[in-house]
Amino acid sequence: MGACHGPRLVEFHKTPTHLQFNKYVLTGYRPISSAQECLRSLFYVHNELGNIYTHGIPFFLFLVLLPLSIPWGEVDSVWICVVHYLACLSPTVGSVLYHLFMNHVGGEGVYDNLLSLDMFGVCLVNTLGALPIIHITLLCYPGVRQLALLIYILLSAYGIYCATTARTNVLRLRAFAWQGVFRLGLFLFRMFGRGVGSPRSLRLFFTMDALAVLGGVVNIVQVPERLSPGLFDNWGNSHQIMHVMVVCSIVYLHWGTLEDLDWIKSFECPLE
């Protein structure tokens, strides 16, 4: 087996049960492999290659480029910059490891652990990514802000438990519902209440959440492969589309947070 020529790929019905999660992807499955063989699969075409690279490439781009745009020394609360950076990186790390090693010889036990790691990364971007938004929105209400941060962290802990123990894509998406409702409440408080933040960041945050939800729905309905089973086995299937939407969602989170961080430098809460 050469570096560019992988092992004989298998069809859906010949894969282990725990890998049969999309019946519309008919071919291109890697055989059960050792860790080294999983790593070699980075260099030949199979039906997980697109999933690996649609998050692997953004991970390295975020790792190198995001620190160059984050105003580390220009804000009083440096923790905001740190948690934002970690939030942007977290979903791509778990995803790459999950898709790269999901066919590991360790079987269903290893697969379940990798899936939990993948979902944990998604939970982290929902959790860490919202903390700067909460902090800035409630900037003029220190007591309420601390309570809101605590409530959101508790909701996130519950969401992590639900997401990492869920057995279906629908339940995994539902695990993030309360976090989404909480963020929507913050956005409405900015729009119609006395919450603060950059006027331009709201549109970016709404786009961020819309892309994330739409990506999750696409993954659940398994379109376009449902419409033409076998045609999108290697490229263009619903999970890859979701990956692209998740990356775009992270970019909008980053843009929105940068807007808020730039805005906060010149803002002072009004005196009561």
With b meaning 16 or more CB within 10 Å and e meaning fewer, what string describes 235-247?
A: eebbbbbbbbbbb
pLDDT tens digits, one per residue of 183-230: 999 999 999 999 999 999 999 999 999 999 999 999 999 999 999 999
- Token readout for 189 is 């408080």
For residue 77, pLDDT beyond 90 = no
Whether the predicted pLDDT of 11 surpasses 50: yes
End-to-end alpha-carbon separation of the chain, Å? Answer: 73
Residue 1 pLDDT level (bands cut at 50, 70, 90):
very low
Residue 156 pLDDT exceeds 50: yes
> What percent of the chain shows pLDDT beyond 90?
86
Mean pLDDT of 240-262: 97
Query: Could you read off the pLDDT of 120-144 as tens digits, one per residue?
Result: 999 999 999 999 999 999 999 999 9
Instruction: Report whether 186 contacts 134 (CB < 8 A).
Output: yes
> In the structure, what pLDDT confidence band is assigned to residue 272 with cuts at 50, 70 and 90?
low
pLDDT value at 249 more than 90: yes
Question: Which burial class, exposed, middle or buried, applies to 124 when counting CB atoms under 10 A from its CB (0-12, 13-18, 19+)?
Answer: buried
In whole angstroms, how far apart are CA 36 and each of 39, 101, 108? Answer: 5, 10, 18
pLDDT for the residue 2: 43
Is the pLDDT at 161 greater than 60, yes or no? yes
How far is Cα 20 from Cα 10, in angstroms, rounded to an integer? 12
pTM assigned to the model: 0.94
Give pLDDT, residue 74.
87
Q: Kindly indicate the confidence band of residue 44, based on its pLDDT and cuts at 50, 70 and 90.
A: very high
Predicted confidence at residue 167, as pLDDT, reads 86
pLDDT surpasses 90 at 173:
no
pLDDT of residue 4: 60
Which domains does the chain possess? 48-264 (1.20.1070)
SS3 label, residue 270: coil
